[in-house]
Amino acid sequence: MNWDDPTDTAAASAERLVGPAADREDQAVEAALRPKDLGEFIGQEKVREQLDLVLRAARARGATADHVLLSGAPGLGKTTLSMIIAAEMGAPIRITSGPAIQHAGDLAAILSSLQEGEVLFLDEIHRMSRPAEEMLYMAMEDFRVDVIVGKGPGATAIPLELPPFTLVGATTRAGLLPPPLRDRFGFTAHMEFYEPHELERVVHRSANLLDVGIEPDGAAEIAGRSRGTPRIANRLLRRVRDYAQVKADGLITREIAAAALAVYEVDARGLDRLDRAVLEALLKLFGGGPVGLSTLAVAVGEERETVEEVAEPFLVREGLLARTPRGRVGTPAAWAHLGLTPPHAAPGGPAGNGQQGLFGT
């Protein structure tokens, strides 16, 4: 369970499902729902087992744990696991992010203030600046950094020794990490999307912590619309709780959950307003494609990056949209999901609109 703070466009997928970003009260609730140790953490069985071995071995040796790299989509538990690592090692944790470190001096200031054994959580590590990244190589491997004093020919490198620490890096785009950085992590793990039965456990646990009455079929309804992501499951649970308190007797049943999520425009497969807008534009305006990403973004009134990083990954994973060399194409499942009839096949392309290639790439 697993609620990393969103730091990039992709993370906005969770936010848009329930409206504006959570206020301070919601953030406090999310913090309260975070599991405190590996025993409480639901899902990610392989990752938990492997990480448990790493941490137990480090404690047995009385040593600092190896550096850890966690990759995966937003909301799967990377921040939560970093906090658990610190708790399991009995160490403090410092949290920052790649975009916040734009100069080597920024990183040097953080590293030089670390305590021995402290855990440094660096979210969206792939977005760190190149100079800071190069400084991090030496810090991870030799626990030292060279601080440059002065400029030009008179510049001097002053070595600064660092106490042993554990770096926990998190990224939503592991492919953007340079090999020299990736190779310096002693343990790497990829976080997978959750299965519905795992999300049901997440919802039941959170409902218990929130003192919310929920029936098994109500938890199943929320889990099935949560896009395989615990963060989304918990946010939907809170919105359904609100609906149940206002419109019903406070107990969440399947019917109440379905009615509440209809208000928030989350359909039975977890698609929200933007997802459906993308599919409807692709199918209704462009006959199923292929259509270029920029053209599709203009059609739905969104930025290209928003469509590509927020809507597309889920639609592709659900088998509703396909990326091809000529553009985006709606699948038969997309036509069926929207209740539309695809045009008859014709020489113009897979969707049969006779206009393949007219909509950009």
What tens digit of pLDDT does each residue of 226-243 get? 988 999 999 999 999 999
Instruction: Write down the catalytic residue from 64, 166, 171, 172.
Output: 172
Q: What pLDDT shows up at residue 313?
A: 86
b/e map 206-237, b = 16+ CB within 10 Å: bbeeeebebbeebbbbbbbbbbbbbbbbbbbb
Three-state SS for 87-98 is HHHCCCEEEEEH
Task: Provide the annotated binding site for DNA.
Answer: 304, 323, 328
End-to-end Cα, the chain, rounded Å: 38
Report yes or no: 78 and 47 within 8 Å, Cβ to Cβ.
no
Over 60: is that where the pLDDT of 338 sits? yes
What 3-state class would DSSP assign to 81?
A: helix
**What pLDDT score was predicted for residue 70?**
93
| pLDDT at residue 87 in the model | 92
Q: Which of 7, 48, 64, 78 is catalytic?
A: 78
78 catalytic residue (yes or no): yes
Query: pLDDT tens, 257-304?
Result: 999 999 998 888 888 888 889 898 999 888 887 888 888 899 888 888
R_g of the chain, CA atoms, integer Å: 23
- Phi/psi for 244 (5° steps) reads -65, -35
Per the annotation, binding residues are: 33-34, 75, 78-80, 141-143, 184, 194, 231, 304, 323, 328
Walk me through the domains of the chain, giving residue ranges and CATH numbers.
Answer: 35-190 (3.40.50.300), 196-263 (1.10.8.60), 273-337 (1.10.10.10)
Q: Which of 4, 7, 48, 79 is catalytic?
A: 79
- Residue type at position 17: L
Residues that constitute the known binding site for Mg(2+): 79
Measured CA angle at 35 (ends 29, 40), to 5 deg = 140
Q: Amino acid identity of 57?
A: A
Q: What pLDDT is stored for residue 120 in this prediction?
A: 93
pLDDT digits (tens, 9 = 90+) for 13-57: 444 444 444 456 666 667 778 888 888 899 899 999 999 999 999
Binding residues for ATP, as ranges, are: 33-34, 75, 78-80, 141-143, 184, 194, 231
Q: Would you state the pLDDT for residue 10?
A: 42
CA contacts within 13 A on the Cβ side of 309: 14
Give me the pLDDT at residue 155, please.
Answer: 63
What sign for the dihedral angle of Cα 267, 269, 270, 274? negative
Instruction: Say which DSSP state 214 is in.
Output: B
For 268, residues 6+ apart whose C-beta sits below 8 A from its C-beta are 224, 225, 258
DSSP lists the bridge partners of residue 161 as 144
Sole residue written with tokens 């009615």:
259
306 classed as catalytic: no
* pLDDT value for 24: 60
pLDDT of residue 249: 85
For tokens 């292929």, name the residue.
290
Taking the C-alpha atoms of residue 58 and residue 12, their distance in angstroms, rounded to an integer, is 36
The pLDDT of residue 4 is above 80: no
Span 133-183, pLDDT tens digits: 888 888 888 888 777 665 666 667 677 888 899 999 999 888 888 888 888
Query: pTM of the full predicted structure?
Result: 0.79
Residue 100: per-residue pLDDT: 87
Element (H, E) at 16: helix 12-16
Q: What whole-number distance in Å separates Cα of residue 127 and Cα of residue 262? A: 36
Element housing 343 (H / E): none
Give dist(CA 123, CA 170) in Å, integer. 5
**Is 127 a known active-site residue?**
no
Catalytic residue among 4, 8, 123, 272: 123
Catalytic residue among 227, 231, 235, 239: 231
123 is catalytic: yes
Higher pLDDT, 188 or 14: 188
Residues paired with residue 160 on neighbouring β-strands, in sequence order: 145
For 91-113, how does the pLDDT look when each residue is reduced to its tens digit (9 = 90+)?
Answer: 999 999 888 888 888 888 888 88
